[in-house]
Structure 1
Amino acid sequence: MIMQLQYEDIVVGTGKSASRGALICANYTGFLPNGEVFDSSHSRGQPFECVIGTGRVIKGWDIGVLGGEYADKIGYADYVTDAERLVAMKVGGKRRLIVPSHLAYGERAVGKIPPNSDLTFEIELLDVKTRDD
């Protein structure tokens, strides 16, 4: 059985929902399985920005930020624990994701991340900008 993406909402946001193709701004910390931090926007002193849902980040981030409906649309709902309950993050929200290696970097080593590593992220969504803004 393939390990599924797991998630926990630490704080449920009340602002604008993340949507595919939106520019998101977030603070995050990434942890290796042993608890060691491998990356953090906090340590750089600058939030992370990316267009979400377009493959610019690991699949686990796209799914973890955009939710189970997005996972279902791309055929990944089976890879998410309780996908039907995972909603898109909203601004002000903070979510912990446990991303299995096949939704992260798989067999590739990237920086401090060894091959086949399951990764944990704590993501705080600061802003969502769409073409309508």
Structure 2
Amino acid sequence: MKKYFFILSVLVIGLASCSKNSEPEPIVDPAVQAKTDDDAIVAYLSAHTDITAVKDLNHPELYYQVLAEGSGDPITENSQLVVSYTGKTLSGATFDARDDFSLKLSQNIIAGWKIGVPKIKNGGKILLIIPSALGYGPYANGPLPANTVLVFTITIKSVDGHTPSVDPI
């Protein structure tokens, strides 16, 4: 019996010593990252003079430009939306694009969308420039490295099953 206990002990110790010695994720100071993101966004806007995005008054880290306001009732977190969107990095690389994507803002989506999308209504279109803290933060997501600033162009195609009304010409 002592022989089996000894062998089991050696196995447990051996396996424990073989565990991965992974390095912890680097800790990023949120204030430093916010400044880095804002500097990158300001540089992006300086290079793209056709974009007239402004800072959100309640969330000054978020920049947005309403491209078309849309009409109808305001969008809430419980509105069932169908949207088309394109997500890019500041370098212009597209990392995601979808047409007829269905969601509610109460779902598990990035904070930048929760803040920005209600600025437009049914049929509206918005450009959101989202700092990393309101995006995926210090975590990589698919092809995106950690702390990536995101640029989304979002068009609302329907709200609660209602497509936007088109004015007759």
On the 8 A contact 2:82/2:159 being kept in 1, the answer is yes
Identical residues among aligned pairs (%): 35
Bigger fraction of residues in helix: 2
Q: Counterpart of 1:117?
A: 148
Amino acid at match of 1:63: I
Contact 1:17 1:128 in 2 (8 A): no
The equivalent of 1:94 in structure 2 is 125
Which residue matches 2:116? 64
Question: 1:17 deviation in Å?
Answer: 2.3
Aligned to 2:79: 22
Structure 1: gaps spanning 5 or more residues: 67-87
- Between the aligned partners of 1:26 and 1:16, the Cα distance in structure 2 is 16
Q: Which runs of 4+ in 1 moved over 3 A?
A: none
Instruction: Say if 1:50 and 1:56, in contact at 8 Å, map to a contact too.
Output: no
- Normalising by structure 2, we get a TM-score of 0.58
Contact 1:26–1:49, Cα closer than 8 Å, also in 2: yes
C-alpha contact (below 8 Å) 2:68/2:126 kept by paired residues? yes
CA displacement at 1:98 relative to structure 2: 0.1
**C-alpha deviation, 1:15, in angstroms:** 3.1
Q: Counterpart of 1:60 in 2: which secondary structure?
A: helix
Distance in 1, matches of 2:75 and 2:112, equals 15
Q: Is the 8 A contact 2:83 2:100 kept in 1?
A: yes
1:16 Cα offset (Å): 3.4
Cα distance in 1 for residues equivalent to 2:131 and 2:65: 15
CA distance in 2, matches of 1:16, 1:37: 31
Alignment gaps of 5+ in structure 2: 1-30, 39-60, 162-169
Q: Which structure has greater strand proportion?
A: 1
8 Å CA contact 1:55–1:62 kept in 2: the answer is no
Q: 1:8 aligns to what?
A: 65
> Which residue number corresponds to residue 104 of structure 2?
51
Q: State the AA in 2 paired with 1:14.
A: S
- Residue of structure 2 in register with 1:34 after alignment: 91
Number of residue pairs the alignment of both structures matches: 104
TM-score, scaled relative to structure 1:
0.72
